[in-house]
Amino acid sequence: MPVAFTSDPGPRPFLKGRPEPTRAPAQRAIAAALLLPGRAGEGAHDPMEEIIGLAEAAGARVLDSDYQRRDRPDARTAFGRGKVEELGVLCKQHDAELLIVDNDLSPSQARNLEEEVGVRVVDRTELILDIFASRARTREARWQVELAQMQYLRPRLMRMWTHLERTEGAIGARGPGETQLETDRRLVDQRIYKLRDRLKEVKKRSLRRVAERGGLVAASLVGYTNAGKSTLLNRLTDSQVEEADRLFATLDTKVSRWKLAAGHEIQLSDTVGFVRDLPHDLVASFTATLEETRSADLLLHVCDAAHPDLEIRMKAVEGVIEDMGASETPVLLVLNRVDLLDRAECRALESRWPEALLVSAKTGQGLDALAEEVGSKLDAWTLHLEVRVPAGEGRLIAQFKSLGKAEEEGFEEAIWWARLRLPPATWQSIQPALENAGGTFKPLS
């Protein structure tokens, strides 16, 4: 069957006519995982908990689960022959429609595994993409998800057309000689090109929004999905962001102003949550959405302190931050949901991470201390400078006014001067232009 292409800008299904896991009624599924040495989730309290949660978030009903430990994946089916047979038996026993695998499979591995177990196979990346597609609400989010879907789909087109041969050149029907596979690849490539072009404009708008902060220091909430970031944003800024106890409830960036003590104010943003092994195509597609995080002066790493796999999830988030190119940004560790812990458990967390702040977005515990900590370090995150710019450099003066928070400014003969505060990243970007224009600066205490 051909891939469906329509004028609707929303996410496309991978194959026309194939059932979508997010549709009711819930599809019956078996979950399976291959536990490899060095795997991101190795040592998890329950190695099947996350994939089952992801499957349920996608609309599946997981009837049973199983996993296998191996040194490396089997080249043909990922799992060993004996385990494949066991999974086939499980699918038949439960009359399952899906086998959901908590690993990324090659197109040939997925095809071979489907033939062996007799049901459709969905790997981890396809499952996460399906969840994102069901959660996307804005046009930009839909474009970003669709781009990741198209990039995932392209190398798997062969799997859909194994039953066809090259088009016969019948009288009156001779075409360019393309196979349906080649036609679909061309269509997918065209769609990828259009989506990338659209997202370039989205990124430009995001960069303009970042540039229009008006000198405010920007902080971004990052963390594992369902760690309570949206609840924390609502508590700190009186926002009305949706709060939901589910994976990937937030896909679009939400930005609000957070008023701290002593009249300080910063810009606080909340965006998509992370998981371990987050598909790289998805991270790349969401570059525009994550621009607020990439350009933030401070990252508030929000963790679910009550989760048994706390450290594993922390490392997964740190890996995504590195993939985003934000590893040099200062990070403040915020351990949320401490209302679910007793005193001994809280003391253990304080001992393990003495620099962390223990809070509860639900009850408000520790939020005043969090605001004080951010406020006390505000001067360390911003630079207090006096700059002097030739009056003829109108564009550069306008940049300083839009990017910095001016305390005083004026003109002395042919020089514009100002005492202002700038985030370090902003100063690094504008300092070369100041020096090239013949301007000067000096730090202020």
**356 vs 202: CA distance, rounded Å:** 35
CA-to-CA distance for 168 and 166, rounded, in angstroms?
A: 6
With 60 as the cut, is the pLDDT of residue 61 above it?
yes
Cα–Cα distance between 50 and 29 in angstroms, integer?
15
Residue 270, strand partner residues: 221, 254
Q: Which residue did the predictor score with more confidence, 194 or 249? A: 194
Q: Write the pLDDT tens digit of every residue in 376-432.
A: 776 666 788 899 999 999 989 888 887 777 778 999 889 999 988 787 767 877 889
pLDDT at 114 over 90: yes
168, pLDDT greater than 60: no
Instruction: Spell 234-271 as b/e; 16+ CB within 10 A means b.
Output: bbbbebebebeeebbbbbbbbbbebebeeebebbbbbb
> In order of start, what are the domains of the chain with their CATH numbers?
1-212 (3.40.50.11060), 214-379 (3.40.50.300), 382-443 (3.30.70.240)
What span, in angstroms and rounded, lies between the C-alpha atoms of 43 and 137? 35
Report whether 267 contacts 258 (CB < 8 A). yes
* CA 106 – CA 156 distance, rounded (Å): 8
Which of the 8 DSSP states describes residue 155?
G
Q: What is the dihedral of CA 347, 351, 354, 360, to 10 degrees?
A: -30
CA atoms within 13 A on the CB side of 327: 7
The distance in angstroms from the start CA to the end CA of the chain is 69
What's the pLDDT band for 360 if we cut at 50, 70, 90? very high
Long-range contacts of 394-397 (CB under 8 A, 24+ apart): 396/430, 396/433, 396/434, 396/437, 396/439
The partner residues of 223 in beta bridges, in order of sequence, read: 302
286-319 pLDDT, tens digit per residue, is: 665 676 677 787 899 999 999 998 998 999 889 8
Specify the pLDDT at position 42: 62
Within 94-179, residue ranges assigned H as helices are 107-117, 124-135, 139-153, 157-160
pTM (global) more than 0.85: no
Cα dihedral 95/97/102/108 (nearest 10): 120
Interacting residues of 43 by C-beta distance below 8 A, sequence separation 6+: 312
